[in-house]
Structure 1
């Protein structure tokens, strides 16, 4: 199944899986402090020591620590603790160096030289070019279903080679100006050469090293003192599984955990500024949208799509479907991200103009089915709100409830109008994965050769300012006649004990500073 909270996922996604042990069944140990006193580095400054317990929804007995198979948020957080990537995304979704210290392209942007920093795996062995090439070739194995496979597609791994112990020449299949995004792709973790067994004693180069793992219940990791970016403040970190949001909240309130992932807006409002726990809002973490299939009636007529843009009251959708925990969208992905076309006027509801466009398209008294599901928070509410908004423009929307288990795969090719959401990713990746003729997750069926050509022009353009101009041109077209009706951007909400410090607040889910437990400490 395909869950757009983490883009590109075509399986179960980040849903609270059934069948896993509940938090109450776990044997939780530790109390957020080390065996000995933690050494303070001054008032308000980080303190070393302690154990933090973080509650996430999980995936049951099938969970794995293989970083190339990470699908759930808890998988991603555990992988980030144990492993590293060559690059990762900053808060604006631009790639930032991690295991790579620099990358340099040739004039034609189809060969990139990447230099590694001096870093070691948990067994003391250095991270080398051979480890990188092994990791990428493992991900690209056609017999496997690894998450980052599609992201690595631009690389010709047969031609790519090590040019030194810590230098790699990546040969690409075509010019790729945004190649650093490939290095930062979700799931593109570096593992030791020939590594294959990740559940008994995984070895990575991340800030924590492995202690224990019980699928569907708990994983414990311990500070790696020789981490290249500096040892974490925490002595130990435990990931515990609690599939129900109420279980995560109750465990946090009861002191059984110090960090609870994925809270809903109602919970946040009830506890914000109440003094017992801290509510952390990761702004702009999830795009909220309706997708219109541009290859079939009635949305093959751009005037109908434009009418639907004007039907939406975005503030009402954010207030009603997200309980106000977000901000309005403007029919483009990536608000606040690198290359976002923020100069376009904010679209407002205009029912009169919507009716005029529908009349011009011969679509008066239009009836259309809107697919939705309880697969994601706010979907059913958004569908009901939009149905009522459309009625005011003379459009009849029939809301159709889909299965949680098959919703994403069902709407990818079927239907004409559907609820949709997406986690953070670079705008370039959103375009390449969803808006090109051969994109594998093209939910709007936006397929135009001239648009494809603009993408290739952007990827062949060395000058960043000139490249940004091409991306803006592409976004202006999508704003005018695309198939994504982007009505909002939702906050991602976490809860922590008040003694937990260092949780980054300017970090959309999927980015480097989300779940950075090596930077967290217990006061």
Structure 2
């Protein structure tokens, strides 16, 4: 058997030392990170867990073929593929790194890549729960069949996927059915994380697999206790260099005050999702600091257009125009984020519609629309969780008062989990949500509002023209035509038949020990690789 130079040097170094000396020499820290939630689905498999909190943890144990410099300039980067090139408008060829190992010790091969994009993992699913999508937190408990969400998530991420073709042991081709200008970006989505085919085959059930998947990241999953803790340890055969943390532990601490107090007491080394009004208190301790800022995510509320009152788009339009978004940013975020130009980011580059804006704050117009719609004061339910998002409850309370000022009767209903919000229940009205740009093109976020996307599949909102335009955007290659399609889509989603109400660009602030040199990302991911430490 041939050894790589790096592996040979590693073995030579370990042979010179007895095992006790190795253990004594490992002075890497054990780090505890307090989060409000680890996973909304109680799984760690991206084919079910597609939440913001899931995006945060995936970067530690799973990796994709291409990546973004999330802690840098957001540029597209090689991932598990050391290089990639276009073959034509439908095909991208990727050269795999040769020194990548899975956490079970197996070398990553082209077969593992094909499996990760294959029917066993992506394109098959069990029967939909009668309560609807995104409800069950114990999917796949009795078989190896993925949950019903899996093929929908795959469709939303890769709507034109045809096959992952093996060219050689270290070369694959992603082949699309139709032209797609965004293939390189699509492969950065955690949906396309590369996992061990053998480990999947050895797992007794899909749920067993999904709670301890075997990936290639810098940390290996040791133990996951749903709704409680996720424990990982350094994977020293990581291709990207020796991880800087010996043991990494995420702990669920739902309340902000408890996360702050635990950090100050030394129980935690990092505490995520700090509201800006806590920053001064935290930094009054010279050993602590808060880092972070705006990220590629926008906070919004989703309308269920099938609710009797919300069927009339004029009521939904009134709700979008009754909100003073800048007042929310000023009051709750101390100006540390901003009101976006609708559902878009500067990250979009040439696809950014610079003259577009979120609906204007116009209470008089909102009142006129309600009068025209003959709104009679019927209550509109507003479902939400308790501060799943930073400043969530305070934001909702401000919006309820702003809606009341124009004559809208909106009632907050607190729920315990996302299943109670996204399930197909007759009492749904509006709900809390957000949308991320996984890569630098509008289709990254718009997929949620087309077949396969969460909002569409949850039965909250559908619009045939929007779906057709999104499909055209997915396969379009002419820049000006794509910009025109994007403008029309936003006109439908934010003006004519509102699907959501944009609130503000999201921002994340992480409190941490000052002596740990670590950079926050411009997304929800937390990067604990050696390149982002020290």
TM-score range with shorter-chain normalisation?
A: 0.7 to 0.9
Query: How many residues are matched?
Result: 466
- Rate the CA distance shift 1:368–1:202 in 2: closer, same or farther, 3 A: closer
CA contact (8 A) 2:89 2:181 kept: no
Backbone CA RMSD of aligned residues: 3.8
Supply the distance in 2 between the matched residues of 1:478 and 1:255 (Cα, whole angstroms): 46
Structure 1 stretch displaced more, 487-496 or 374-383: 374-383
Contact preservation (8 Å) 1:271, 1:279? yes
> Does 1:52 pair with 2:39?
no
Contact preservation (8 Å) 2:296, 2:345: no
Secondary structure of 1:84 counterpart = coil
TM-score if structure 2 supplies the norm length? 0.73
2:199 is aligned with 1:195: yes
What is the SS of the residue equivalent to 1:121? coil
**1:263: which partner in 2?**
274
C-alpha distance 76-500 of structure 1, shift in aligned 2 (>3 A): same
Q: Distance in 2 between matches of 1:421 and 1:201?
A: 27
Residues 17-72 of structure 1, C-alpha deviations (whole Å, 9 max, x = no match)? xxxxxxxxxxxxxxxxx95598xxxxxxxxxx544333335669x96666766567
User: 3-state DSSP class of the match of 1:231?
Assistant: coil
SS of match in other structure, 1:501: coil
Secondary structure of residue in 1 paired with 2:493: helix
Q: Which residue of the other structure, out of 40, 65, 76, is the alignment partner of 1:86?
A: 65
1:519 is the counterpart of 2:531: yes
Counterpart selection for 2:110 from 129, 132, 141: 129
Which digits, 9 at most, give the CA deviation of each residue in 1:225-270, with x for residues without a partner? x5443434x1513214242444433332233332222334443342
Between 163-172 and 173-182, report the one with greater CA deviation. 173-182
Determine which of 162, 166, 171 is the counterpart of 1:162: 166
More helix by share: 2
Change (3 A) 1:324 1:235: closer
Name the structure 2 match of 1:356: 368
Q: CA deviation at 1:432?
A: 1.9
> 1:80, 1:314 → 2: CA distance?
32
Q: 2:301 aligns with which of 269, 282, 290?
A: 290
Partner of 1:486: 502
The answer to whether residue 446 in structure 2 is matched with residue 431 in structure 1 is yes
CA 1:228 to 1:414, structure 2 compared with 1: closer, same or farther past 3 Å? Answer: same
State yes or no: 1:118 paired with 2:98.
yes
Q: What is the alpha-carbon distance in structure 2 between the residues aligned to residue 290 and residue 101 of structure 1?
A: 39
In structure 2, C-alpha distance between the alignment counterparts of 1:411 and 1:159, rounded to whole Å: 33
TM-score (norm 1): 0.75
Partner of 1:503: 519
Contact 1:310 1:347 in 2 (8 A): yes
- For structure 2, list consecutive stretches of 5 or more residues without a partner in the other structure: 1-22, 126-144, 204-208
Match of 1:18 in 2: none
Contact 1:112 1:171 in 2 (8 A): yes
Shift of 1:112: 3.6
User: How many Å separate the matches in 2 of 1:348 and 1:67?
Assistant: 36
Distance change (3 Å), C-alpha of 1:399 and 1:219: same
Could you tell me how far apart the structure 2 residues matched to 1:444 and 1:332 are? 23
Could you tell me whether the CA contact under 8 Å between 1:390 and 1:396 is conserved in 2?
Answer: yes
* Alpha-carbon distance change, 432 to 413 in structure 1, aligned in 2, over 3 angstroms: farther
2:152: which partner in 1? 150
Alpha-carbon spacing, 1:82–1:520, altered in 2? closer, same or farther (3 Å): same
Give the Cα separation in 1 of the matches to 2:463 and 2:26: 63
Structure 1 residues 456, 67: CA separation in 2 closer, same or farther (over 3 Å shift)?
A: closer
Secondary structure of the structure 2 residue equivalent to 1:329: coil
Q: CA deviation at 1:496?
A: 0.8
**Residue 497 (structure 1) shift:** 0.2
1:159-238 residue pairs with structure 2 within 5 A? Answer: 159-196=163-200, 197=203, 204-209=215-220, 212-213=222-223, 215=225, 216-217=228-229, 219-222=231-234, 224=236, 227-232=238-243, 234-238=244-248
